[in-house]
Each structure stands twice: as structure tokens, then as C-alpha cells.
């Protein structure tokens, strides 16, 4: 079992829709969770981090964490074509990444 698992996609959503990206992790002791965005040919950049169970909102982005289910998700509201990228889930201070989910937002 991989430490961090994501559906590789692509996830295709129309402009203006909500994109939902999911991630599961294996280490129950994990305390910190991160979502990074990576455009093609570029390095990853941090979108959000979450440490506590529940929801955390930042603009159009909401991170959701459920430690009991070992599940973290990212919702992107009002998706824009510029959101098209690979979204990487990372876990723990060691930053263990999943394979990433490729998101495509079409006009």
C-alpha cells in the first residue's frame, strides 16, 4: 500500500463547477496535510495546509480532513481554466506526496 494515494485522473469539469479532489493516507500518526498545485513543466507550489479535522476555507479552495477515515480532500469552487494543473496531496512534515490528480477545466 502506498503511503499517500490519489486518483491520477484526469478529472474534467466545466468552467464554474466544483472540482473535488481526494487523497487517502496510510500513516494514522500523520498530523499535517498539504495540497500543492503543479503546472506542467513547473515546480509544485503550496495551495493549502490543514492540521485539524474539519474544513478549512481559503478563497475558492476548501480543504477537508477526516483523520478517522485517513482522508483529505480539496474542493475548488467556481473552477477556472487557469486551475487546470496537477494537484498533489502531501502528508506529514516529511512531505510524502501522492501521484497527483490531473485536473482539466474546460470552457
Partner 1 sequence: DTGVSQDPRHKITKRGQNVTFRCDPISEHNRLYWYRQTLGQGPEFLTYFQNEAQLEKSRLLSDRFSAERPKGSFSTLEIQRTEQGDSAMYLCASNRKPEAFFGQGTRLTVV
Q: Which residues bind partner 1 (CB under 8 A)?
A: 4, 6, 8, 32, 34, 43-46, 49, 88, 93-100
Q: How far is the CB of 51 from partner 1 (least distance, A)?
A: 8
C-alpha grid cell, residue 72: 483529505
Look at residues 20, 16, 11 and name the one whose alpha carbon lies nearest to residue 102.
11
Q: Which is nearer to partner 1, 45 or 57 (CB)?
A: 45
Q: How far is the CB of 105 from partner 1 (least distance, A)?
A: 19
C-alpha grid cell, residue 43: 515546480
> Residue 61: enclosing H or E segment and its boundaries?
strand 61-66
Amino acid at each position: 500500500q502506498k503511503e499517500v494515494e490519489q486518483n491520477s485522473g484526469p478529472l474534467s469539469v466545466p468552467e464554474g463547477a466544483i472540482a473535488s479532489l481526494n487523497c487517502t493516507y496510510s500513516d494514522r500518526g500523520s498530523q499535517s496535510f498539504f495540497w500543492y498545485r503543479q503546472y506542467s513543466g513547473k515546480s509544485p507550489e503550496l495551495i493549502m495546509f490543514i492540521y485539524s479535522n474539519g474544513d478549512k476555507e481559503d478563497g475558492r479552495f476548501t480543504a477537508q480532513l477526516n483523520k478517522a477515515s485517513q482522508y483529505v480532500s480539496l474542493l475548488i469552487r467556481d473552477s477556472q481554466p487557469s486551475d487546470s494543473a496537477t494537484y498533489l496531496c502531501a502528508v506529514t512534515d516529511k512531505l510524502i506526496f501522492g501521484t497527483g490528480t490531473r485536473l482539466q477545466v474546460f470552457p
